[in-house]
Amino acid sequence: LKEKINSNQQVKIIETCIGQLGFSLNLAISRSKYDIIARMDSDDISHPERLEKQITYLEKNNLDLVGTAINLIDENDTFLGLRSYPQKNAIFKKIIFKNPFAHPSVMFRKDFFLKHRGYSGGFNSEDYDLWLRMRDSIPRWDNMDEPLLNYRIHSNSTQKSKLAYYECASYSLREFLKNRKMINFIACIYHFSKALIK
């Protein structure tokens, strides 16, 4: 990777010995000099025109954050299916019980991200924690219905999902204690139950 980017002064490699995704993302974003941030995992595959299409959609609709639909692939690049996500106002309804964005597909404005203190929770669901905190400011967010990312499903993802559900339950409990809305307590029970049956 280093050999490939040596000739491109706009690309920087940032290394850290701390093996925690949220920390690494915060570090990279804090050192970015650009106003718009695009997420992606190293084992996923972006559509060749993903960045152009997302930036255009973000700017045209004056959004703070935008995600996309995704194609699911396995470890051998075999297509497994299409996954779509809620759009516009439906995001606010769906977020109580499920993650409304494919994390590696999101693009957002750096100042909006920093306003919400970046990633601060979890080892498996740091993104869901961030979306919940962003929700309180009534963000302008959306999902594109076009799949612009191939998302890789790994054979060990079941265990990770189990841990993620426990974390999501704790976030829902936090939201309940913060605003005393019973729907958040129900969401806590829902996420905890999902973890138990995984």
Other residues' Cβ atoms within 10 Å of the Cβ of residue 94: 15
Give the residue-averaged pLDDT of 11-22. 85
Residue 79 has pLDDT above 80, yes or no: yes
Residue 7 has pLDDT above 70, yes or no: no
By the 8 A CB rule, do 42 and 50 touch?
no
Name residue 18's amino acid. I
Angstrom distance (rounded) from CA 134 to CA 54: 20
Instruction: Note the pLDDT of residue 146.
Output: 98
- For the ranges 22-36, 57-71, 86-100, 114-128, which has the lowest average pLDDT? 114-128
Strands 36-38 and 107-109, how do they pair? antiparallel
Angstrom distance (rounded) from CA 128 to CA 164: 9
- The proportion of the chain whose per-residue pLDDT surpasses 90, expressed as a percent, equals 80
By the 8 A CB rule, do 159 and 165 touch?
no
Q: How far does Cα 4 stand from its chain's mean position?
A: 27
Tell me the residue ranges of DSSP E strands in 76-197: 79-83, 107-109, 141-152
By the 8 A CB rule, do 44 and 151 touch?
yes
The radius of gyration computed from the CA coordinates of the chain, to the nearest angstrom, equals: 17
Angstrom distance (rounded) from CA 46 to CA 156: 22
Mean pLDDT of the chain: 92
Give the residue-averaged pLDDT of 18-37. 93
- Of the two residues 155 and 171, the one the predictor is more confident about is 171
Q: Mind listing the pLDDT tens digit for each residue in 132-149?
A: 999 999 999 999 999 999
- What token pair was written down for 45? 């595959």
Q: How confident is the model at residue 18 (pLDDT cuts 50, 70, 90)?
A: confident
- For the ranges 15-19, 56-60, 90-94, 151-155, which has the lowest average pLDDT? 15-19
